[in-house]
Structure 1
């Protein structure tokens, strides 16, 4: 039986492990942390549960199909709940409006916001455009392992606004800056700036506003937990709390991995589900990967990072599941993050309060996951001072609590992401999509230099975000199945 080593138990590694084990391969998953799911990790306290991320789930069938294709019923492993009205967008002028996957409700809400100034069918036309972009991307990017080999790619590229920024595309459809700003925020889902990243990524609006936003009952981590449960049923061995410290390569093939600098495990293939930009150079000697030099921020731009606060309260604030509190000058905010490599003075603030949907997530009170975008350059900042700035801004929007009402508090910075997940300059999504290469031509799921090493994760094709990472694991597994016979 062929022995496959999966390095890292993120969603990509887990989805690949399920797929390979279901086909009869001997799979071992080695994860340096004590939990599965990678950045999708649970934080459980007395009275509160938090998902570190991601908090927004789209493309539910991507996750369900991993279980379904292994011969089991996904409903036995996790339950995905569709949110009716999912995100409330707030502005400093006191206005707000709510995103919904119901087109009629969304149009009514936008007309209320704009004083009925929205042109007839304007929102509908935009959502039709977003759907068209998704359909092209799904055909050319989300179902193929290597877009460079697709002869039809270039014909379709011109249809997806590769030379127009997301912000410019939104200005074409809308005049109200509040609507544009809310839609521009989709660039942050791939760690990028709406003023630079291609308009192609308006497809994210299709996922949220046409198809809908979901939440896994009991916490989104239950998706990873469900994958791991199914993998274990199929015979996958999990070694949590152990770290692969080297991949030994001979004649262009990986023949074993070294665990914790001492144990050597032979293998027929390796799937690297760690951060490609930091872990491939760390684990494989430079002489064995001539096509992959160590990247730097001058050669590969990192995506944005995050400054996170998790606050468990003893009271309810009447917040929605997803809440966004926008800055007045969005362009200045992204200039600070990417060009000036510093924290924004007036950051946009996101709050997930999943207890609004699932009370078990906050039995003692609201479970606030508070995130602001941070520069992915390991910029030093006084974390206490910046947290006070965030609190002051939230008070402007009427969101406040007393210190004695805080039952739990935890902070996560880009430095923590670098330490715990080997994140590339602390980036959440590896490479940004601010360039055409970063947006459309991420590394393929197979090593160019080492024939039996495959990759999965946000830095590889098809990109960042939980559905894409899950798909990357499927691409790697399919390639392995085609290339590695189950028996000699």
Structure 2
């Protein structure tokens, strides 16, 4: 038996001792997809070991703590909280006992380059007033757009978001719905069908950027995000998004299962075409009945599996795929508070279509930028020392195919971001910053093992969605399963948690493997 997949056969050791005879599931990576998968597999009777490369769980949702400030590394927007509540229910616990969510109102403030702003809200009367303030003639179109996104949400999220697309026939079955929903249109194209004002077209089309999508290219099915937010709201977890990570880690521990940090997986071990375990970077080998990868999907196929064992996701196909944008993130703490700044602000630069084209198509680091500014201390002051604020400023940038040398470019780019924020929302910022750090696409590649340094895996265009996206149950390897942004249904917390939910349909019951 060739368990290494590359000719070697190191001895396999279990991770739970001989006392525990439950089937063993290994989960690679402890992002939200991996943690949710571990909880679901534990609830179904598996003995679970989660293996995390970093020194703490969370992956992109880890937290940086320095100088008394707490910086959430990645996700900050919680929608569809029922997906978290469901995980606690599986363990016989109440989500609200462990995590406190606060509803955001407004959801975001969208600031245009000329200083005008639109408050994007869950209150429909306020939204109508904001639309009318910009373009009274677009009110009727806005109402029609809202009705359309509700239909898209019902089909795209409620009916298809938790369904595995394992066969081409699954895709053909939903094709009539996709055509009826005009899924061949882009998000921007769908918005432009209903709204004439160019600023409102931006306001209602930016959402794909939150999940690594180009609004001018991704399928209009992603307009469902508009209704998803309207239905359940936008929330923040007190203590930071990492409080959700800590809560999930607690559930896993209470199930008697294990999260191992500083445990990087070097390869997935195979017996023929079946996953039977993993080998760690330190040489340790762990056996498993099933393997679930929450690592970046392209990285999983390209670096953890030999090419000879792959039929669909060979290196050439992975290299030719389209990938999401990269991210430049500047985390900073200030020795003063900026009370007038909301929790979520989107600052738009002088260009919209042109900047997005530079990021996704031309792959050049432009002189201008747009920013998402996160100020969690607007809601939870405990994330900074008394009288201080915690921030991060995120700028979508090209992934590493741009050729940008971030070792050289990062600090000049940060200074431009700082100068822009100081001139717009944060006066005196340069003198107020007392703690800071950065992440660039290069860090996403080396720290998070994200192929090409892309922030969200493959770009969610129609030809890389549903059946066309890497499947939840690997097409190439038996007993290998994929969760996270790189598989169906895609990036964002609802998508990632839904990918773990799909495991209930594709992973065999533990009793079947005893």
TM category, shorter: over 0.9
Gaps of 5+ in 2: 1-21
Normalising by structure 2, report the TM-score.
0.90
* Contact 1:110–1:118 (8 Å) recurs in 2: no
Aligned residues: 485
CA contact (8 A) 1:90 1:325 kept: yes
Offset at 1:487?
Answer: 5.1
More deviation, 300-309/335-344: 335-344
1:461 CA displacement: 0.8
Are residues 1:331 and 2:358 paired? no
Give CA-to-partner distance per residue, 1:1-54, whole Å, 9 cap, x none: 201111111111111111111222111111111111210111123332121111
Unaligned regions of 5+ residues in structure 1, if any?
Answer: none
The answer to whether structure 1 residue 106 and structure 2 residue 127 are counterparts is yes
Name the structure 2 match of 1:198: 219
Residue 416 (structure 1) aligns with: 443
Between the aligned partners of 1:467 and 1:22, the Cα distance in structure 2 is: 20
Question: In the TM superposition, what is the alpha-carbon distance from 1:124 to its structure 2 partner?
Answer: 2.5
CA contact (8 A) 2:363 2:399 kept: yes
Cα 1:62–1:263, aligned 2, differ >3 Å: closer, same or farther? Answer: same
- Per the alignment, do residues 92 and 447 of structure 1 end up closer, same or farther by CA in structure 2, a change over 3 Å counting? closer
Q: Which residue of 2 aligns with 1:122?
A: 141
Q: Please report how far the alpha carbon of residue 66 of structure 1 lies from its aligned counterpart in structure 2 after TM superposition.
A: 1.4
1:448 to 475, 483, 503: 475
**Is the CA contact 1:279–1:422 (under 8 Å) kept in the aligned structure 2?**
no
Cα drift, residue 243 of structure 1: 1.2
Q: Which residue of 1 aligns with 2:366?
A: 344
1:64 aligns with one of 85, 100, 108: 85
Residues in 2 aligned to 1:256 and 1:481: alpha-carbon distance in whole angstroms:
16
Flag the 1:226–1:295 CA change in 2: closer, same or farther, 3 A: farther
Structure 1, residues 270-325: CA drift from partner, whole Å, max 9, x if none? 11111110122211222222332025675111101111100100111221010011
Deviates most, 202-211 or 15-24? 202-211
The aligned residue for residue 241 of structure 1 is 262
Do residues 307 (structure 1) and 324 (structure 2) align? Answer: no
Aligned to 1:436: 463
1:437 CA drift (Å):
2.7
Question: TM-score, normalised on structure 1?
Answer: 0.94
Kindly state the Cα deviation for residue 435 of structure 1 after the two structures are TM-superposed: 4.4
Does the Cα contact within 8 Å between 1:51 and 1:220 map onto a contact in 2?
yes
Residue 41 of structure 1, aligned match among 62, 81, 94: 62
- Provide the rounded CA distance (Å) in 2 between the counterparts of 1:478 and 1:231: 21
Matches of 2:140 and 2:312, distance apart in 1: 50
Structural mapping, 1:52-451, within 5 Å = 52-114=73-135, 117-146=136-165, 148-150=168-170, 152-295=173-316, 299-317=320-338, 318-364=340-386, 365-378=388-401, 379-381=404-406, 382-438=409-465, 441-451=468-478
Secondary structure class of the residue paired with 2:60: coil
* Runs ≥4 residues deviating over 4 A: 295-298
Q: 1:467 aligns with which of 494, 499, 503?
A: 494
Shifted more, 393-402 versus 308-317: the winner is 393-402
> Over residues 239-286 of structure 1, what are the superposed CA-to-partner deviations in whole Å (9 max), with x where a residue is unaligned?
111111122211221223212242111211111111110122211222
> SS at 2:204's partner residue?
helix
- Render the CA deviation track for 1:112-133: whole Å, top value 9, x for unaligned: 234xx23444323222211111
Cα 1:269–1:119 change in 2 (3 A) is closer
